Amino acid sequence: MSNVENKTVIITGASSGMGKATALKLATNGANVVLGARRENLLQNLVSEIEEKGGNAVYRVTDVTNPTDLEKLAELAIEKFDKIDVLVNNAGVMPLSKLNKRKIDEWNMMIDVNIKGVLNGIYAVLPYMREQKQGHIINMASIAGHIVFQGSAVYCATKTAVRAISEGLRMEESPESNIRSTIISPGSILTELSSHITDSEQKQAIDQIESQVGIDPENIAEAIYYAINQPEDVGVNEILVRPTKQEL
């Protein structure tokens, strides 16, 4: 039996892209998945797809910028499956633009979703995991959390923050509560992230990169599966996944 089977896994941003791929990968390998996202019709379709494949899945419409929504998602996991083994903080946005465009609403959206959304997820599940004396929190960072690109200053800042939060979580909780912390840093992945970009120059640049080197979100799902599947005394603290042909 793998270390994924029978685990209860909460996934945010689960309706498409890396979240959807991760839900399918884990559910088809025996995990119970609890799905959160804003688009209910896509969540319903995903639950049906998982159940048709013999897996277990439930969902709740969730806005990660609202701490109460994350608490209710955690309560759903407890209600349906009696425990929370893993949280995958996957929800994120990437409306890139240069600072001189002064898109302050987009800056705030990235801070609210990419940073506060991660903290809200941790806030919701940590009491259960501490009581269990085990758990695993997986936070989606990015290559942009390691290097800075023009037009990506705020996005890079949010993903750098995710890495800092994840490492702080590891230091505080792993020795005391046996809670594992993993950072997943994808490179160019073929998802809907670029659809959030309103700056035409930045969108054209990202679309061109993705068309040339972008890889499927299933590759990130494999990395998440690998991290979860390790024995409980093994912490996979960070994984970078780039397309082979991606330079930066």
* Residue ranges making up the domain that contains 235: 8-240
pLDDT tens track for 1-46: 799 999 999 999 999 999 999 999 999 999 999 999 999 999 999 9
Name the H helices within the chain: 17-27, 40-52, 67-81, 104-110, 117-132, 153-177, 200-213, 218-229
Strands 32-37, 56-61: pairing is parallel
- pLDDT reported for residue 196: 87
Mean residue pLDDT across the chain: 97
- pLDDT reported for residue 101: 97
Q: Is residue 246 part of a domain?
A: no
**Which residue's entry shows tokens 């709740």?**
60
User: Model-level pTM?
Assistant: 0.96
pLDDT tens track for 98-148: 999 999 999 999 999 999 999 999 999 999 999 999 999 999 999 999 999
pLDDT tens track for 56-111: 999 999 999 999 999 999 999 999 999 999 999 999 999 999 999 999 999 999 99
pLDDT tens track for 186-239: 999 999 889 889 999 999 999 999 999 999 999 999 999 999 999 999 999 999
Q: Is residue 202 part of a domain?
A: yes
Which residue is catalytic, options 123, 155, 225, 226? 155
Q: Is residue 122 part of a domain?
A: yes
Verify whether residue 155 is a known catalytic residue: yes
User: CATH no. for residue 92?
Assistant: 3.40.50.720
Strands 86-89, 238-241: pairing is unpaired
Q: Is residue 100 part of a domain?
A: yes
The total number of structural domains that make up the chain: 1
Q: Is residue 3 part of a domain?
A: no
Q: Is residue 106 part of a domain?
A: yes
Structure token digits, residue 52: 């048709």
